[in-house]
Amino acid sequence: MSRIVKVAAAQLGPIQRADSRASVIGRLLALMREAKSMGADVVVYPELALSAFFTKWYIPDDAALEAEFFEREMPGPDTRVLFEEAARLGIGFHLGYAEVTVEAGVKRRFNTAILVDATGQIVGKYRKIHLPGHPDYRPEYPIQDLEKMYFEIGDLGFPVFDVFGGVMGMCICNDRRWPETYRVLGLQGVEMIFCGYNTPIHNPMAASEDHLQNFQNLLPMQAGAYQNASWVVGVAKCGVEDGWEMIGQSSIISPSGEIVAMCSTLEDEIAFARCDLDRTAVYKHAVFDFAAHRRPEHYGLITSRKGAISPFPRTDRPTERTVPAHHDEE
Amino acid sequence: MSRIVKVAAAQLGPIQRADSRASVIGRLLALMREAKSMGADVVVYPELALSAFFTKWYIPDDAALEAEFFEREMPGPDTRVLFEEAARLGIGFHLGYAEVTVEAGVKRRFNTAILVDATGQIVGKYRKIHLPGHPDYRPEYPIQDLEKMYFEIGDLGFPVFDVFGGVMGMCICNDRRWPETYRVLGLQGVEMIFCGYNTPIHNPMAASEDHLQNFQNLLPMQAGAYQNASWVVGVAKCGVEDGWEMIGQSSIISPSGEIVAMCSTLEDEIAFARCDLDRTAVYKHAVFDFAAHRRPEHYGLITSRKGAISPFPRTDRPTERTVPAHHDEE
């Protein structure tokens, strides 16, 4: 058997802060039409695909932050054309954006992604759970990582959706580094995971590791695909954005863990693959037949404990969290 | 700071069923002495290092199985010389073996590994939790995978041990494919994980994937190291054993996920590395600062659910477990 989903991973090159919203929407439409011309069933855009990756800046004025970077409705005045064009072309899409909403009289902000079917209807929504970085402005850092300041932790869990002929899930950027993300989706029988990302090469919290950003982008996505017998579609916004370089390597990864398509530029570019959802079956039924092989009775710490606690604390070990307190937020 | 542990991953070439126990012990001693000559603090032997990988055969006679392949005591008559030589040389070791024991009047069998310190004392023990394969003899398969028949599921959890100057953990073979293994160790602050394996290239349950065995060996070990900020030492018994080929690629993997040493033959061979346990700190304190970033409130399914359950069951999806019942053991 085979159940083919034709996927266009629509990598975006940089969006400068000065770029107009109209120019961004124009690029998204061009990628959508190119994807359709390739026969794609779904075009996958990155995280926060409508603007510069603004979490690198400290913007203390909430009203200004939201006016410049957040969406109050989806579709909204700027984005409605994406839905209309998708319906006209008969192609689905995945889009990441900054969401501001009022729920029960309380304003809330999330790093959000949606799935839209080939009729232009929103059929799935996810709000990012793993927010990286630090919750406080750090003037000593040349580039900030303020997702914990600008967003709440997602409150929708890791849901799956019945669309494009399979069981589809989503995660966003830093979520892809955590095996729990893929496993919670895997336990719901996920067959394809969409994941947009913005990943600056320079991380002031671990600057010694900057040269490994590309490697450490692909590694957890490949492992997550393999260990959960799912396709993974990872899509970057990349290139030099207002002076800060971000990685590319947007990839489509098979349930074997193999990369079957990957972008080779740091610009707007499509990586395309015919993804057979039935390719997941051999893994779901053999080595990763969870019902036969998993041992949840031995996994208790994964849900009962948040931080790492060594039973052998020693002050002479830097791994024992003797670092300055500002590394220990929450 | 640095805390160097010098590690010798002591890969074993094949052990034929006809090989004498004395010849096997002689090879282990030769590798131990070679490791010591390189300055190693610990020599790491594979899973079930004392015999042929017998789970590939159906051996219905328990007494014969145990007499040929299982250890009733550790150290025992054959293995005592390893402990004596380790103490004489002042080197630690990790050893996998088949354990049969009587506890509370009940005979029990486990796939076991131990850590022995540089004085020859056993300081850590682990019993394999993820037993792969099938619990029943399958005459249609040219090679069996009968760990579920020959062993009980380990009953010691995933403990860590204070030895060699760090927080050390163990897992065995198929355990390395499961992210839960590394995560339970990571939540205890593990700094180095020892993992022996025997991995036949041919898996009758997923024969279409045989060509990916080497790739799928390294991928989860590299991801497990990176995602838990730990060294991983994976050690194979490999080569052609009684006609069945097993993979090699014994590797020492850093907390970055990078392979820093790897064997290049399918024979007895040492891969050596100076492993700085403080190399884990940058990862434990930044991207994988569990206390700052993990969200156990969203991980509930990992411990509450064993098998995958799709909310959208369809009989036309092979991933919905419509395969023959003998794939659905337990």
Question: Known catalytic residues of B?
Answer: 47, 128, 173
Beta bridge partners of A284: none
Domains of chain A: 4-294 (3.60.110.10), 298-330 (no CATH)
Does the beta-carbon distance from B298 to A258 stay under 8 Å? no
- Measured CA angle at B220 (ends B214, B224), to 5 deg: 145
Test B219 with A257 for CB contact under 8 angstroms: yes
Residues B306, A291: C-beta atoms closer than 8 Å: yes
Enumerate the residues of chain B whose CB falls inside 8 A of the CB of residue A319: 167, 189, 191, 229, 277-278, 280-281, 284
Which of B158, B208, B298 would best serve as a mutation to test chain A binding (most A beta carbons within 10 A)? B298
Residue B156 is predicted with a pLDDT of 98
Q: Chain B residue with minimal CA distance to A304?
A: B296
The residue-averaged pLDDT of B63-92 equals: 98
Q: Give the A window 271-300 contacts with B, CB below 8 Å.
A: 277-278, 280-296, 298-300
Assess whether A47 carries a catalytic annotation: yes
Side chain identity at A13, as an amino acid letter?
Answer: G
- Average pLDDT estimate for B123-140: 97
> B157: nearest CA in chain A?
A298
Contact across the interface for A305 and B187, Cβ inside 8 Å: yes
- Complete DSSP assignment for A197-240: EE-BS--GGGGGGGGGHHHHHHHHHHHHHHHHT-EEEEEEE-EE
User: At CA A273, angle to CA A269 and CA A275, rounded to 5?
Assistant: 145
Burial level of A165, CB count in 10 A (0-12/13-18/19+)? middle
Task: Give the three-class secondary structure for B31.
Answer: helix
* 3-state class (DSSP) for residue A157: coil
| Residues making up chain B, counted from first to last | 330
Q: Where are the alpha helices (DSSP H) in chain A?
A: 21-37, 62-69, 80-89, 147-150, 179-186, 213-228, 281-285, 290-293, 300-304
Question: What is the tens place of the pLDDT at every residue in B12-43?
Answer: 999 999 999 999 999 999 999 999 999 999 99
pLDDT at B228 over 50: yes
Cα dihedral sign, A131-A137-A140-A142: positive
Task: Kindly determine whether residue A293 and residue B130, on different chains, have CB atoms separated by under 8 Å.
Answer: yes
Chain B residues touching A330 at Cβ < 8 A:
291-292
Helices A179-186 and B179-186 cross at an angle (nearest 10°) of: 140
Candidate from B179, B219, B283 with C-beta closest to A179: B179
Q: Is A128 noted as a catalytic residue in this protein? A: yes
* Helix H or strand E segment including B80: helix B80-89
B67: its two tokens = 């007499």
> Torsion angle of alpha carbons B314, B317, B323, B325, nearest 10°?
-20
Give the span between the Cα atoms of A307 and B295, in whole angstroms.
10
Name the strand (E) or helix (H) holding B198.
strand B192-198
Sheet bearing A4-11, strands edge to edge: A122-127, A106-116, A92-103, A42-44, A4-11, A269-276
**Could you say which of A171, A173, A263, A275 is catalytic?**
A173
Rounded average pLDDT per 10-residue block, chain A, 330 residues = 94 98 98 98 98 98 98 98 98 98 97 98 98 97 97 98 97 98 98 98 96 98 98 98 97 98 98 98 97 98 98 74 39
Q: How far apart, in whole angstroms, are the C-alpha atoms of residue A63 and residue A70?
A: 10
pLDDT for A319 equals 62
Residue from B191, B256, B319, B320 whose CB has the most chain A CBs within 10 Å, to mutate: B319
Per-residue b or e along A259-276, where b marks 16 or more CB atoms closer than 10 Å to that residue's CB? bbbbbeebebbbbbbebb
d(CA B94, CA B42): 7
Kindly state whether B324 is in contact with chain A, defined as any CB-CB distance less than 8 angstroms. no
pLDDT digits (tens, 9 = 90+) for B267-326: 999 999 999 999 999 999 999 999 999 999 999 999 999 999 999 987 767 665 543 334
Percent of chain B past pLDDT 90, that is, above it, reads 94
Count chain A–chain B contacts defined by CB atoms under 8 A. 304
Query: Cα separations (Å) of A150 from A63, A111, B270?
Result: 12, 9, 50
For A193-216, letters b (16+ CB in 10 Å) and e give bbbbbbbbbbbbbbeebeebbebb
CB-CB contact of A174 with A195 (8 Å): no
Strands laid side by side in the A160-163 sheet: A160-163, A166-172, A192-198, A231-237, A251-253, A259-262
Q: What is the pLDDT of residue B185?
A: 98
Which is catalytic among the residues A36, A56, A71, A128?
A: A128
Please tell me whether the overall predicted TM-score, pTM, comes out greater than 0.90 for this model. Answer: yes
Residue B184 and residue A302 in contact, taking contact as beta carbons nearer than 8 Å: yes
CA distance B113 to B127: 6
> Reduced to 3 states, what is the DSSP secondary structure of residue B57?
coil
Core vs surface per residue B57-93: b (16+ CB within 10 A) or e? bebeeeeebbeebbbeebbeeebeebbebbeebebbb
Across all residues in chain B, what is the average pLDDT? 95
Which region holds residue B113: left if phi is over 0, alpha if psi is between -120 and 50, else beta?
beta
So what's the pLDDT on residue B322? 40
Rounded to an integer, what distance in angstroms lies between the CA atom of residue A169 and that of residue A277? 13
3-state secondary structure A300-326: HHHHHCCCCCCCCCCCCCHHHCCCCHH
Q: What is the dihedral of CA A310, A312, A313, A315, to 10 degrees?
A: -130
